Structure 1
Amino acid sequence: MDLRTIVTVEPVVFLYLMSGLLNSFAVQQLVLVKVCEELHFEKEVCSSFSHNSQESLVIQSKASYVMLLYVAVLTFLSIPMSILLGAWSDQGGRKLGEQAILILFLTLPPQHFSPELYGVYNAMKMFLGGAVLVGLFPLLLRCIREITLAKLGALLRVVSFILLAFSTNTWMAFLSAVMNSFSGFPGPVLRSMASSVVEQNEQGAMYSCMASIDTICIIIGSSAFYALYPETLSTLPGFSFIVMAGFQVILLILVQWLSEIPTSHHPLIDAENRNTTEE
């Protein structure tokens, strides 16, 4: 058996995601340290600001605005390439990850995550997400409808965000990461449904459109949450995750609506059939 027929783009995707994860963590940590130094706090505070409540609030408030500008510029510059590469390639899947305010939230009291602990947390979260999507998802498809799995993934992500928003210790944060590992289910299902209602020669344009929408959502979402986070930092730091859970509820409603549409009477398919008949 030729190994090249089994392993294609997986190593490249793995290295890309791994480098993105490491870069995201390093940049966020660097911004926190630089902001701390710019505010002229003592070296002891900057090395362990998560244990200094008042100083941490000031540091995180300014760091969130810095990250807002960083993510907005970085993501905006990726839009042209998203459109071009999506149109050129019908086989390259794309997934945009987003850490946003997670590291800021977990370094606050009462979690007091250190950089090392956050690295372990993020690595476990990414590993479980990939393992569940690659290993468990295909097995579940044999006995459970894909649309049901999409609803399950959206529901568990709602619970994960709520648990994270009100977490008061380390184990609650890690439990939310375990529940979040099923959140990758809706993506493949929705892409599969989208690809089933377009012609083969339109697959690239469809994926290009979806990638562009993803990019725009990241710009808007990152900007909104980086701006919202410092405003609720002193009252309810986890409020942003409650808002994220609300958006997942909207996704769950949309998936439920799609599941109630008969496959043989899909609106897009019916419209295409009518056009073909008229011609």
Structure 2
Amino acid sequence: MCNIIQKMRTLITVEPVMFLYMTGTFLLTPAYQQLILFKVCGEMYSENTEVCADLQNHQEESTAVQSKASYIMLIYMSVVSLLSVIPAIFLGSWSDRAGRKLGMCIPSIFSAVSGGLFIAIAELPEIGVYWTIVNAAIIGISGSHVAVFLSVFSYLADISDGSALTTRIGIAEAMIYFGGTVGFLLGGTLLQYYSFTHAFGVFCGCHILAVIYVICWLKESKHHQDQEKVLQGVAESILEEKHSLSLAMYAKRTFSCIVKRRAAQDRLKLYLLVLCMLLVNLANTGEQSLTLMFVTYPPRSFNNEKYGEFTATRMLLSGFSLLGVFPLLLRYVGEMILAKVSCLLRIGAFILMAFSTNIWMVFLVAVVNAAGGFAPAVIRSICSRIVGPNEQGAMFSLLASVETLCILVGGAIFNGLYPITLASFPGMSFIVMAAFIIITLILIQWVSEMPTTHPPLIINEA
């Protein structure tokens, strides 16, 4: 029995953590947005409750509510994004020394606390809508999804060798899509047929389960005192152990991960791969920001139900591709070839979306885009193999921080471009996204022509 449990712990590690966290995250998004709309309407029209009960049939009031709510939502997203980068920079290098589990637990603990506050905001009329910004700060200071991503991918780098790492990162990426599908559908159902309290209660439950799983099931991937004898940078580690490490020193270790000298062209390769992640996530942010508006705009004219079907289809296809097709293809095709094919299909999906005029063309985008997650998985894996075993957390914290900053930068770019081109060519923003991926494809080709020289990973079976 012990041998069976040990084997299960080797096969099933951080994937459930990613699934539970992303389920809660995607469940929270429509819930907090609807709560903000509900509270704003209640505060603006407290003396006329009929307006909020049937807001869609009050055009002027609806416009006023949405304008103020969108402003609050922008503040909410900005607070979460900006605050989450700061602790992640320290957590990455800190986890390289102390372990990965705490980085998975802290965001879920803080999220569960924020879920309780969300319930209070929903249930108590005297609590104003701006208390949601306090919740954004609570989630942000814990590191949010940035901390979870860097901890999960660093954990996988600790326990996987070069041949299996790309596959395991792909499976972890698949959990993002599966969690997104479940969270999106579950959140819609709870809000439609139950209440805010039920939705935020399930959100809390997801994060509590994630913490219990990490504590009770996961074995720490980094046994610090054993590995210090064999990891690179022994002399530096001994010297730093004599002094108490300040936050500034942890931040320095994180940034030094990307600027330090490396063998052959590995430093240039790392720069190019980080730039690839920047471009990919700018395109992803634009897609997430504009798809709803674009598909509801004539001649596509999607309703909420049709948009939900499209989103669920896209996430499921992407998740199954990463979980089943990607590991199978890696047995017969090189990972860089898969990354380039992924970029080509992603470019085709954006162009098809830009020129789509009906429902079947939009749903075809979901099919063409199914392999879109291959490239980020390959990029993460190569970055992990370039840096040393004691730099995994620092490197993944940089990647996760880049992804988070892309939410703000990409949102500003595409939300500014879309209204300008709406009258002439509504799909222009998707052409720009395709251009970003074309540049990514060129950079990946450049990286694939560089010699492969990276330090060996030390395997620690969890």
Query: Shared topology, TM-score over 0.5?
Result: yes
Question: 2-side partners of 1:35 and 1:101: how far apart?
Answer: 24
Q: CA deviation at 1:67?
A: 5.8
Do the aligned partners of 1:68 and 1:227 also contact (CA within 8 Å) in 2?
no
In structure 2, the residue matched to 1:187 is 376
RMSD: 3.5
In structure 2, the residue matched to 1:10 is 15
Distance verdict in 2 for CA 1:150–1:208, change over 3 Å: same
CA deviations over 1:112-148 (Å, ceiling 9, x no partner): 1111111111111111111101111010001100000
Question: 2-side partners of 1:18 and 1:80: how far apart?
Answer: 24
Q: Return the letter of the residue paired with 1:175.
A: L
In structure 2, the residue matched to 1:23 is 28
In structure 1, the residue matched to 2:422 is 233
Structure 2 residue 235 is the aligned partner of structure 1 residue 46: no
Question: 2-side partners of 1:116 and 1:71: how far apart?
Answer: 25
Structure 2 residue 329 is the aligned partner of structure 1 residue 140: yes
In structure 1, the residue matched to 2:450 is 261
Structure 2 residue 169 is the aligned partner of structure 1 residue 164: no
Question: 1-side partners of 2:291 and 2:36: how far apart?
Answer: 14
Question: 2-side partners of 1:91 and 1:22: how far apart?
Answer: 22
Identify unmatched segments of 5+ residues in structure 2: 45-50, 60-64, 101-149, 154-171, 174-280, 456-462
Q: CA deviation at 1:8?
A: 2.2
Q: Return the letter of the residue paired with 2:152.
A: G
CA deviations over 1:48-79 (Å, ceiling 9, x no partner): x9xxxxxxxxx999998776555333322221
Question: 2-side partners of 1:186 and 1:14: how far apart?
Answer: 20
Question: 1-side partners of 2:77 and 2:24: how far apart?
Answer: 16
Q: Secondary structure at the match of 1:109?
A: coil
Question: 1-side partners of 2:296 and 2:328: how far apart?
Answer: 37
Q: Return the letter of the residue paired with 1:238.
A: G
Distance verdict in 2 for CA 1:82–1:222, change over 3 Å: farther
In structure 1, the residue matched to 2:459 is none
Q: Name which of structure 1's ranges 230-239 and 244-253 shifts more when overlaid on structure 2.
A: 230-239
Q: Name which of structure 1's ranges 248-257 and 18-27 shifts more when overlaid on structure 2.
A: 18-27
Q: CA deviation at 1:229?
A: 1.6
Q: Secondary structure at the match of 2:410?
A: helix
Q: TM-score, normalised by structure 1?
A: 0.78
Do the aligned partners of 1:133 and 1:184 also contact (CA within 8 Å) in 2?
yes
Do the aligned partners of 1:110 and 1:169 also contact (CA within 8 Å) in 2?
yes
Structure 2 residue 412 is the aligned partner of structure 1 residue 223: yes
Structure 2 residue 160 is the aligned partner of structure 1 residue 154: no
Structure 2 residue 111 is the aligned partner of structure 1 residue 101: no
CA deviations over 1:179-199 (Å, ceiling 9, x no partner): 112111111111111111211
In structure 2, the residue matched to 1:72 is 78
In structure 2, the residue matched to 1:81 is 87
1:175 to 344, 359, 364: 364
Identity score, percent: 48
Distance verdict in 2 for CA 1:91–1:72, change over 3 Å: closer
Q: Secondary structure at the match of 1:263?
A: coil
Distance verdict in 2 for CA 1:104–1:34, change over 3 Å: farther
Distance verdict in 2 for CA 1:107–1:86, change over 3 Å: farther
Distance verdict in 2 for CA 1:91–1:69, change over 3 Å: closer
Q: CA deviation at 1:263?
A: 1.8
Within 5 A, what are the aligned runs for 1:98-137? 98=285, 99-137=288-326
Do the aligned partners of 1:60 and 1:104 also contact (CA within 8 Å) in 2?
no
In structure 1, the residue matched to 2:435 is 246
Q: Return the letter of the residue paired with 2:56.
A: C
Identify unmatched segments of 5+ residues in structure 1: 50-58, 273-279
Distance verdict in 2 for CA 1:233–1:72, change over 3 Å: farther
Q: Secondary structure at the match of 2:356?
A: coil
Distance verdict in 2 for CA 1:214–1:109, change over 3 Å: same
Question: 2-side partners of 1:81 and 1:246: how far apart?
Answer: 33
Q: CA deviation at 1:254?
A: 0.3
Distance verdict in 2 for CA 1:84–1:212, change over 3 Å: same
Question: 1-side partners of 2:386 and 2:424: how far apart?
Answer: 46
Within 5 A, what are the aligned runs for 1:205-220? 205-220=394-409
Do the aligned partners of 2:92 and 2:151 also contact (CA within 8 Å) in 1?
no
Q: CA deviation at 1:81?
A: 3.2
In structure 2, the residue matched to 1:56 is none
Q: Which has the greater radius of gyration?
A: 2
Question: 1-side partners of 2:36 and 2:415: how far apart?
Answer: 13
| Aligned length in residues | 257
Q: CA deviation at 1:16?
A: 2.1
Q: Secondary structure at the match of 1:75?
A: helix
Q: Return the letter of the residue paired with 1:82.
A: A
Distance verdict in 2 for CA 1:111–1:132, change over 3 Å: same
Q: Name which of structure 1's ranges 4-13 and 122-131 shifts more when overlaid on structure 2.
A: 4-13
Do the aligned partners of 1:151 and 1:255 also contact (CA within 8 Å) in 2?
yes
